[in-house]
């Protein structure tokens, strides 16, 4: 079986295992809440347990996937140590957070969003941790493992397009809670699957939401390929998630203008344009850094070789 086929089989396994794990997760959560062990789980819907079951299944099947793909080192994925990892991490976060933050401020100024009466500032540290975890996990999986594996069999551009489409499609699959009827049973997870594709039937939402996720994945993948490292893409992804999650907790939407501005901050053609601008800024920064490194090497070669002959 070729590597891309193994990745496809991995996702099929994640879906099947997640569907099987979701009901016992739900039953365990209900039991813990009823006995006062975890009262915060009281009233949590099955769909949330379904999402957590999928995450556990994805993490649990990573090890057999890595073994089947013969992943023994980062070099095998096309990754190299990055001596500027801290600078790249902060640069990616700053570019994303500032750009999306400006967009959010404009939305508030136009009255599309308004601040909530009570602002839960105490939740910001938790949101920052969640953003860091999401950026680290998703970039390690999609841009680290999957993009590296696809590049073994495809060109860099085809690999980037394939993984970005995969990344976007999986994020666009959201179960419709209305598809679950009756009490939770062993087949409840499978009952949610058909409703996971309901958003594809809405062209306006598809254009406004899918395109945003696609551009995010493309920019993150571009950063990974140009730096042969994940730090810039991790920072970029975390910056977007942090501002998006923080904005959703601190504000409430009053208007939407699909396909330009959607029901959430990340939905719409306006955020697509913002992310494209972020990608251009990161690309220009990397090009400038590479030219600077070439210039320094040229000066060093000239100092070591006054005759002007090239040193290879």
158/230 Cα distance (integer angstroms): 19
Taking residues 58-67, what's their average pLDDT?
A: 89
Q: So what's the pLDDT on residue 309? A: 35
93/97 Cα distance (integer angstroms): 6
Taking residues 148-171, what's their average pLDDT?
A: 91
Asked if the model's pLDDT at residue 307 lies above 80, the reply is: no
pLDDT band at 76 (very low <50, low <70, confident <90, very high): confident
pLDDT band at 13 (very low <50, low <70, confident <90, very high): very high
pTM: 0.82
Taking residues 3-16, what's their average pLDDT?
A: 91
pLDDT band at 310 (very low <50, low <70, confident <90, very high): very low
Asked if the model's pLDDT at residue 219 lies above 80, the reply is: yes
Taking residues 29-56, what's their average pLDDT?
A: 84
Side-chain-side CA neighbours of 127 within 13 Å: the count stands at 17
**Cβ contacts of 67 within 8 Å, gap of 6 or more:** none
């Amino acid at each position: 079986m070729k590597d891309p086929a193994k990745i496809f089989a991995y996702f099929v396994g994640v879906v099947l295992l997640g569907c099987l794990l979701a009901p016992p997760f739900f039953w365990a959560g209900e039991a813990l809440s009823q006995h006062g062990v975890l009262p915060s789980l009281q009233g949590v819907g099955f769909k949330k347990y379904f999402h957590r079951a999928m995450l556990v299944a994805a993490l649990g099947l990573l090890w057999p996937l890595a073994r089947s793909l013969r992943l023994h080192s980062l070099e095998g994925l096309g990754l190299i140590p990055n001596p500027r990892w801290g600078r790249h991490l902060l640069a990616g976060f700053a570019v994303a957070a500032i750009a999306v933050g400006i967009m959010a401020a404009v939305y508030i100024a136009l009255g599309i969003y308004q601040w909530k009466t009570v602002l839960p500032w105490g939740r910001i540290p938790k949101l920052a941790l969640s953003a860091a975890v999401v950026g680290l996990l998703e970039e390690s999986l999609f841009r680290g493992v999957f993009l590296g594996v696809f590049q073994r069999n495809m060109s860099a551009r085809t690999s980037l397009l394939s993984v970005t489409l995969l990344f976007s499609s999986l994020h666009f699959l959201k179960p419709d809670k209305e598809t679950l009827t009756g009490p939770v049973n062993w087949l409840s997870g499978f009952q949610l699957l058909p409703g996971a594709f309901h958003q594809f039937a809405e062209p306006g939402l598809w254009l406004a939401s899918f395109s945003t996720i696609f551009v995010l994945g493309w920019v993150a993948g571009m950063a990974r390929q140009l730096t042969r490292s994940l730090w810039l893409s991790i920072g970029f992804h975390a910056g977007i998630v942090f501002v998006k999650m923080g904005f959703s907790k601190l504000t409430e939407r009053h208007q939407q203008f699909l396909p330009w501005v959607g029901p959430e901050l990340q939905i719409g053609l306006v955020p697509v344009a913002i992310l494209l601008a972020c990608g251009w800024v990161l690309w220009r920064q990397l090009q400038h850094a590479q030219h600077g490194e070439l210039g320094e090497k040229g000066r060093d070669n000239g100092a070591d070789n006054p005759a002007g002959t090239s040193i290879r």
